Amino acid sequence: MTTQTATIKQRAKKSPPPKPYHHGDLHQEILCAACELIEENNIASLSLREIAKKVGVSHTAPYRHFKDKESLLAGIAGVGFKELAKQLADAVELHHDNPAAQLQEAAHGYVQRAMTSPHCTQLMFSGILPCDDTYPELVASGDAAFDGLKMIIEEGQAKGVFKEGDIEILALATWSGIHGLALILIGGNLPEILSISVDIRQLTNAVTTTMLEGLKAS
């Protein structure tokens, strides 16, 4: 209470009347709360009312900031896609001039991120959200991430370490392998024998090794 009063006084002194009246940035707070709740439970049981309660506003307040539940979900997925793009950029940066190492690193980051935010990852790729131009920034983020992958492939071809061929298709084949492993892991579909005896890094390496063998220039 005291803190709040202080903040208000400070505002009155310093700046012209600020926009929000209860919260600093309800939009962002809702998004954060939703990200947390979706990982604590799962996509299906995430409710707008629960999010509102967690943030401390009425259950209709989110409608000021999101058209409906779906566009809130799109917001969450958007955060995920940006994380993905960043991870990829980091992998490229880290292993300069070594496409194979970049791919390995990117794959590991992809799987790692999926395991840290499994339900967000599910949301991003499950087809719950429409993939037409309802959420153009979502498609854009996805395409940006894919572009990163294509650039790795392209550089590998230029260096003569990856085989020639349609970049789109080679990139898709590579992504498929990594994506498949990630979704198998977070879906809990890993065959039992593997889940008890092998660690994630080993599995990721196995998949990327197979992909890299398939990509190798002959």
When asked if residue 117 is in the footprint of its own copies (CB under 8 A), the reply is no
When asked if residue 143 is in the footprint of its own copies (CB under 8 A), the reply is yes
What is the contact mask toward DNA in residues 42 to 61, using x (rule: CB under 7 A)?
A: ----xxxxx------xxxxx
When asked if residue 179 is in the footprint of its own copies (CB under 8 A), the reply is yes
Toward DNA, which CB reaches closer, 68 or 199?
A: 68
Toward its own copies, which CB reaches closer, 26 or 104?
A: 104
List the one residue out of 143, 61, 156 whose CA is nearest residue 99.
156
Helix, strand, coil % (nearest 5) of the chain?
70, 0, 25
Toward DNA, which CB reaches closer, 16 or 160?
A: 16
Toward its own copies, which CB reaches closer, 61 or 161?
A: 161
List the one residue out of 73, 69, 109 whose CA is nearest residue 208.
109
When asked if residue 125 is in the footprint of its own copies (CB under 8 A), the reply is yes
When asked if residue 23 is in the footprint of DNA (CB under 7 A), the reply is yes
Token duo for residue 139: 């498609």
Distance CA 7, CA 83 (A): 33
Q: How many residues in the shown chain lie near its own copies by CB under 8 A?
A: 52
List the one residue out of 65, 92, 85, 71 whose CA is nearest residue 140.
85
Cβ contact 34:51 at 8 Å: yes
Least gap, CB of 6 to DNA (angstroms): 20
Residue 190 interacts with which of DNA, its own copies, none, CB < 5 to 8 Å by class: its own copies
Cβ contact 93:151 at 8 Å: no
Q: What is the DSSP string of 90-130?
A: HHHHHTTT-HHHHHHHHHHHHHHHHHHSHHHHHHHHSS-S-
Q: Which residues bind DNA (CB under 7 A)?
A: 19-23, 26, 46-50, 57-61, 63-65, 68-70
Q: Which residues bind its own copies (CB under 8 A)?
A: 42-44, 118, 122, 125-128, 130-131, 139, 142-143, 146, 168-170, 172-181, 183-184, 186-194, 198, 202-203, 206-207, 209-216
